[in-house]
Structure 1
Amino acid sequence: MTERLAVTDKAKALIQELVTKHGDLMFYQAGGCCEGTQPQCFEKGTFFPRMNDACIGLAEGFEFWVDRDLFEYWQHAHFTLDVLDGFGPGGFSLETPLGKTFKVHYRMFTEEELADLAPVQRNA
């Protein structure tokens, strides 16, 4: 089965640092203008996905949700969660005080991958 989400080693290390400080996490990638499409990291239970948003996989065991409209646009793409040094467009994400920004790199799935995609979970 083709996974929809991968996590770089650099992002894995930052996630572990955030888990140590904050406990369980969750990720949400919106499609709005103000926060751009930068993934945001929150303490689990402090942000709630909207109806019909899509959970595309787990980042180090934590749900990675995508805005329903953004998912419709990017449903044929693989997401790789990475991290960059610097302050991104969103200031609410847990990595911001550390001078880091989560970032997603996209690539289109191949025909073979599309035929065997992992299902998404929808928020009801």
Structure 2
Amino acid sequence: MTNRIDSTQKAKELIAILKAQHGDLMFYQAGGCCEGTQPQCFEKGGYYLRMHDVCLGEVEGCEFWVDRDLFEYWQFSHFTLDVLDGFGVGGFSLETPLQKTFKVHYRLFTKAELEDLVPVKTAE
């Protein structure tokens, strides 16, 4: 089946560092402005999901959740989690003190991929 999210080597390396410091992690990306435009990394359970938020899958064993409205907009797109040097648009994400920020690259699924997507789960 086709994953909805993958990660770059840089993201994998940063996630390993953050897991060593903080334990289990989760990601959340909202569809709003400011911090909502970038994925945020939290200790698992450190962000309270809203009803019907969508889990796209896991990155290095960490659930990657998106706002339900964002999912409606991007449901036909593959996400690739990446890392940039520098301070992101907020200070709530765990990578901020390391002067890194997570970023997502998007691409549309091919027709074949759309027919074989991993199902999503939603928060209740």
TM-score of the aligned structures, taking structure 1 as reference length? 0.98
Using the aligned pairs only, state the percent identity: 73
Matched with 2:29 is 29
C-alpha distance in 2 between matches for 1:105 and 1:34: 17
Give the drift of 1:35: 1.4
Measured in 2, the distance between the counterparts of 1:123 and 1:52 equals 5
Residue type matched to 1:96 in 2?
T
Shift of 1:9: 0.4
- What is the one-letter code of the residue matched to 2:101? T
Q: Deviations over 1:73-102 (max 9, x none)?
A: 000000000000001112100000000000
2:69 corresponds in structure 1 to 69
Runs of 4+ residues deviating >4 angstroms: none
Report the Cα distance in structure 2 between the residues aligned to 1:28 and 1:49, rounded to whole angstroms. 9
Q: Unaligned regions of 5+ residues in structure 1, if any?
A: none
Which residue of the partner structure matches residue 120 of structure 2?
Answer: 120
Gaps of 5+ in 2: none
Whichever residue aligns with residue 106 of structure 2, its letter is Y
RMSD: 0.7
Pairing 1:9-24 to 2, within 5 Å after superposition: 9-24=9-24
Deviations along 1:29-69, whole A, 9 cap, x unmatched?
01111314200000012112110000001010010000000
Q: Distance in 2 between matches of 1:122 and 1:88?
A: 27
Partner residue in 2 for 1:38: 38
Scaled by the length of structure 2, what TM-score is found?
0.98
In the alignment, what sits opposite 2:49?
49
Deviations 1:10-46 (A, max 9, x none): 0000000000000000000011113142000000121
What is the rounded CA distance, in whole Å, between the counterparts of 1:59 and 1:90 in structure 2?
22
- Secondary structure of residue in 2 paired with 1:35: helix
In the TM superposition, what is the alpha-carbon distance from 1:104 to its structure 2 partner? Answer: 0.2
2:66 and 2:11 map into 1 onto residues whose CA distance is 18
